[in-house]
Each structure stands twice: as C-alpha cells, then as structure tokens.
Amino acid sequence: MKALVIRKPQELVIDEINDPNITSEEDVIVQVEACGVCRTDFHLLHGLGFAKYPVIPGHEFVGRIFKMGKLAEKFFKVGQRVVVDPNLPCFLCEWCRKGYINLCLNPINIGVNKDGAFAEFVKVNVKQCYIIPEDVPKEVAILAEPLSCVIHGVETANVEKDEDILIVGGGPIGIIFYKVFHEILKMENVEIVEINTVRIELAQKIGVKNVSVLPAKDKYDVIIETSGTLDGFNLGITHLRPRGRLVQFGVADKEVKGEVPLYEMYKNELKILGSFVNPYTMQKAVKILRDNIDIFKGIVTKEISLEELENLLKDSKSVTNDLKIMVKII
C-alpha cells in the first residue's frame, strides 16, 4: 500500500509498503477514507519524545472495516464505517486501574508510537473502533477525535450555564470548543481571542460571532488556553474572576514555564487545570457529531492528497491560514 512514512525526525517519504495483516483476534484493519492533519504530525516530523520511528503519522481518521480478527467479529461487521480512538491504554498500570486511562504509563498512540492513517490501511484494536453513520460527511467524521479531546476539556472546566468563557486561540480546536459551549451547551457568553486576522475571518465565516484580537471583557469565569504559548497563558491568568478556572489545553514546548500570581490565586481561589486527550469521551463525540452535522461543517477548510501532505508537512507556515486540513485517501 501507499503510505507517508517518517523514517526518523526530518526524514519524510511517500513509500510503497506491505499492507498490515491480522496477527491477533482483536485486530481490525481499517481502509482509510480520510484523515485530519494535526499539529502533532508536525511535531512528529521534527522529533517527538514518545514517538517510535519509523512511523506513519495520522490519528484523526474515518474509514471502513476491511478485515478483522475473531474477537472483533463479535462486535463489528466487515464494511462498517468507523472512527477510531487513537489512544489505547494498557488497563494494567496504576493510573489505568485508578480509572485515569488518559494518564496510562504504557499507552499505544496510533500515528505516534504505532502506524497511523496517512496510508491506505491502518491496523487498530477493536476496542478503539466506534461506528459512525454513513450520512456523516468525512470532513465532519474526522473531527471525532479532536472533539473527544475538547469534551474532556469542557468536563475539566466544569462550567455553569451563565458563566463567561474566553477561548484563547481560534484554530480548529478553539472553534470546536466554541461550537460545543455556544451551540451544543447553548451558553451565551463565549468568546475567542485570536491574533491571526485570516483565522478570525475563517471563524466568522462559519458562524463564530464573538472572535477578535483582544478580549472584550476584563475578567472571565473560565479560560480555555488552546495556543500552547506563554502569551496565551499570561493572557489567561490575568483575566480570571474569583473562582476562575484556567484550562491548559494547548500543547506547550517542554521548556515553557509560566508565572502565577500566588496572592491572587489564594485570595480569589483561582484554579489552573490541565486537560490531556480523551478519556471515555469518544462515544460522546460520535453522538454529538451524528446529531449536529451542520454545526461542524466548515471546520475543514482544505482537502489535500497524500502527495500534497508531504509538501505541507515540510512547510508548516502555510497551515495557519487554514482551519483543519484533511487528507483524502479514497
């Protein structure tokens, strides 16, 4: 099959490789329909600590079951359309056994430490598969994984209906947060701040009303930091109301450290919360997408081929003028 392979950091090729095979009764071979491009894919090319090279990237995908092992046959049928949770915990480590599967010490992460979906076929475990109806367009279906992460972020923030929310960063993730708060949870006071004016226009085009370069209010109850930058964190920490919560969702570089005003944190009972991937939220994401197809249309702003992806990954600058970019495999 044809696949995009990162042989080692900085070395990217499109290669003809062997199709994956069934080797365990829990295996499912998915024929990939489309796969979203994520910032993780760029990090992978430049070298990511927990990656295993060579690796095929791609973890936000929809496809069809092509072949599967005996156990998988009890739950699925060949030809069924599925989205896949790229993260498979071990269920054996201390954190898994406490119920925090996203903090697993031995996770399998499709597209990071196991081959992913920028290929014609990808091998996954049956536990990672979720049926997605035929009428969900592929550009909406591929949002299942990012949406599942956003749902965990929303649950972490523990919002109440009348609270003021500021989302820092108007990329695909910031916009998915906005859509969940404003259009799914019907919250009125939700805003995005974004420094890139092209992205502001893209957000407005798909129905985000409150998006601008600067925050409209002085203080908020909840800040969702999606940029992974120190500037984003600093903006967040200085705009919290008493009992305010800052959710660090954006992935910062390892060496980035922020400063916290200790007196205000104590006096105003501020909380800083991390949110990492998607524990038990894939099913919720699939249901939200299935019931709200129109709300999530338009987040994919560009459809490209595997060959075009090769060039895109080598030149990361072009990405910020789009929202989600999707690679169409078939």
**Least gap, CB of 28 to Zn ion (angstroms):** 20
- Interface residue with Zn ion among 5, 29, 44, 96 (CB under 5 A) is 96
For residue 46 the two structure tokens come to 């430049």
Chain residues 22-61 in contact with Zn ion, contact rule CB under 5 A: 38, 40
Q: Which is nearer to Zn ion, 32 or 104 (CB)?
A: 104
Q: Which is nearer to Zn ion, 96 or 175 (CB)?
A: 96
Q: Which is nearer to Zn ion, 148 or 210 (CB)?
A: 148
The reply to whether 103 sits near Zn ion by the rule CB under 5 A is no
What residues contact 184, with CB distance under 8 A and at least 6 apart? Answer: 288, 292, 295
For residue 75 the two structure tokens come to 């739950």
The reply to whether 90 sits near Zn ion by the rule CB under 5 A is yes
Chain residues 220-279 in contact with Zn ion, contact rule CB under 5 A: none
Alpha-carbon span 233 to 274, nearest angstrom: 12
The reply to whether 93 sits near Zn ion by the rule CB under 5 A is yes
**Least gap, CB of 251 to Zn ion (angstroms):** 10
**Least gap, CB of 103 to Zn ion (angstroms):** 8
**Least gap, CB of 12 to Zn ion (angstroms):** 18
Chain residues 171-230 in contact with Zn ion, contact rule CB under 5 A: none
The region of 13-21, 98-106, 159-167, 179-187 touching Zn ion under the rule CB under 5 A is: 98-106
Q: Which is nearer to Zn ion, 63 or 89 (CB)?
A: 89
CA 88 vs CA 55, 91, 142, 276, 277: distances in Å: 17, 9, 18, 14, 11
User: How many chain residues bind Zn ion (CB under 5 A)?
Assistant: 7
- Interface residue with Zn ion among 58, 63, 89, 111 (CB under 5 A) is 89
Dihedral of the alpha carbons of 90, 94, 98, 103, in degrees to the nearest 10: -60
Q: Which is nearer to Zn ion, 171 or 298 (CB)?
A: 171
The reply to whether 104 sits near Zn ion by the rule CB under 5 A is yes
Q: Which is nearer to Zn ion, 240 or 300 (CB)?
A: 300
The region of 95-103, 108-116, 208-216, 320-328 touching Zn ion under the rule CB under 5 A is: 95-103
Q: Which is nearer to Zn ion, 20 or 89 (CB)?
A: 89
Residues that bind Zn ion (CB under 5 A): 38, 40, 89-90, 93, 96, 104
